Amino acid sequence: MLEATPKPSPARAPRLRSHRGWPLRRSLLVATIALAGYAWTRHSSVSAVIARNSQPPLQQLSLQQPGSHSGYAHTAAEEMAERASAGGSDEKQESAAGKKYEDVTRTAGAAGGSSSSAPTAGAGGAVGGKAKPREQQQAQGQHSYVPSPFEDALRACSSLSCIREAHKQPKHPGQFNFPHFYLLGFPKCATTSLFHHLIQHPQVMAPIVKEPDFFTNLCKDSAAACDPHEQELYINTTLHRNIALSARMHMAVFEGSTHYSLAGDWLAPQLKELMPWVKLVLSIREPISRAISMLQHNLDHQRFPKCYDRERRLIFKCIKANLEDSSVRYAPRLKAWVENFPGEQLHIMQYEDLTGSGMKTALRDLKRFIGIDPKLPSASPDDLGLHNARRDNYTEGWPMTLQEYRVLVALAREDTGDALSMVARHGVAAASRWQQAWERGWQNNLQRCTQSKQEGDDDALCMIPAS
């Protein structure tokens, strides 16, 4: 009986790997490449900053001392010359911040890493006979940057309390604090124009939005008790912590929430506890024109308060209510800030200086206070470039009787007198000069009203300009 010859088993087809997970992996890969490309194109113009800080003349720009009023060397003759010559959107912001960042990192790499050649232990080198790491690296043809202990500590932070602890670590010369300053307000006092001017400066990092209102909207009157996730978002996204670190802390990080200025009673002492180094910028304006500007803002956005007579365009009741409202009066709001922060960390400006003949001096003084080059941005170092200005929409002014305007002047004079006396005691501002300028404006309007009203007719209307 013949044995059946076993049939050869067919060749086993190679087992194919499952591709069920491939679409997800492909999507993640594409997203990663897209994000990397976006980051590269978005973060490409801060190199000039480190380049400048590496130069000997700018090694004086060191903000390691939080109380330093000015990081820039400036001669008296130069300042006198300046005073004499003076005569007295979110995506765009992120793109500008990113472009600065790329320039900084590119220049730093070419320079060998360190932002300053000053021999400091904080820079990673031993002062004395031993060769510093940077010199050793250059001798070996290597160019790597040694972060400061401050940078290392800041990189690990996801909370405000951690940032406070990070500031106890040594910095390299020229490194800014984080955040370095706040543009506090007041509302309708040219803060938007100041914001747009400052974010053009190569040493300034723009926040993701001008007014995130982090403390006033998300912290419920307790800056230290903000939601941990919100703190992390504020640090990483709003203030661009990682971009600032990539720029080696050579950019001044800030934001401009003007509602902070009105929340000083609780925010000022808490901010002092959390960020004792931070610098604060405030702008104040003649109260009547400020109140009119706020009303115009609301009208432009189709918000018509009950106090406004739309048919006759009468605004007296609205302006009077604003001037009587303690929540927006200067004196009560300023009190907490000047009592909690030393004068060298406060910079208070007059709106009329910023928007008038004193613009050049005011802008340069502000930038010296922050600790950045007062002659930049190069395209318009001394031009504020007004944003949100509404005076052109209301050139005819607002109708009001002489008696009504006198009531408003009395309220405004009381508020400014209290506020300027307070800041003068703290050595913050030229209070008497500001008050005199406002008095001249009030008297000009009173004279205009007196001339326009008929004899014995106290109800005759005159036109009061917004500013």
**pLDDT at 230 > cutoff 80:** yes
Residue 128, pLDDT > 70, answer no
pLDDT digit string (tens) for 168-209?
999 999 999 999 999 998 999 999 999 999 999 999 999 999
Q: Residue 286 and residue 188: Cα distance in Å, rounded?
A: 10
CA distances from 384 to 45, 226, 354 (A): 22, 35, 7
* Span 8-61, pLDDT tens digits: 555 444 444 444 545 545 555 555 555 445 444 434 444 444 444 443 333 332
Q: Which of 327, 349, 90 is nearest to 216 (CA)?
A: 327
Q: Where are the domains of the chain?
A: 47-114+139-464
Q: Which pLDDT tens digit goes with each residue over 352-397?
A: 988 888 899 999 999 999 999 999 998 888 888 766 555 556 667 8
Peptide bond preceding 179 in cis form (omega within 30 of 0): yes
pLDDT given at position 190: 92
pLDDT, mean over the chain: 76
Most confident of 41-50, 102-111, 314-323: 314-323
Q: What pLDDT shows up at residue 23?
A: 52
Residue 175 tokens read as 């490194």
User: Binding site: residue ranges?
Assistant: 285, 293
Predicted local distance difference test score (pLDDT) of residue 292: 94
Whether 188 is catalytic: yes
The alpha carbon of 266 is separated from its chain's Cα centroid by a whole number of angstroms, namely 21
- The answer to whether 37 touches 94, Cβ cutoff 8 Å, is no
Nearest to 254 by CA among 122, 171, 372: 372
Q: Which fold has domain 47-114+139-464?
A: Rossmann fold (3.40.50)
| Residue in 188, 210, 360, 367 annotated catalytic | 188
pLDDT at 64: 30
Q: Residue 246 has which token pair? A: 């990539």
Highest mean pLDDT among 11-25, 114-128, 129-143, 300-314: 300-314
Residues annotated as binding site for 3'-phosphoadenylyl sulfate? 285, 293
Q: What is the pLDDT of residue 452?
A: 66
Q: Which of 347, 345, 372, 376 is nearest to 60 (CA)?
A: 372
% residues pLDDT > 90 (the chain)? 51
**CA distance linking residue 18 with residue 143, whole number of Å:** 45
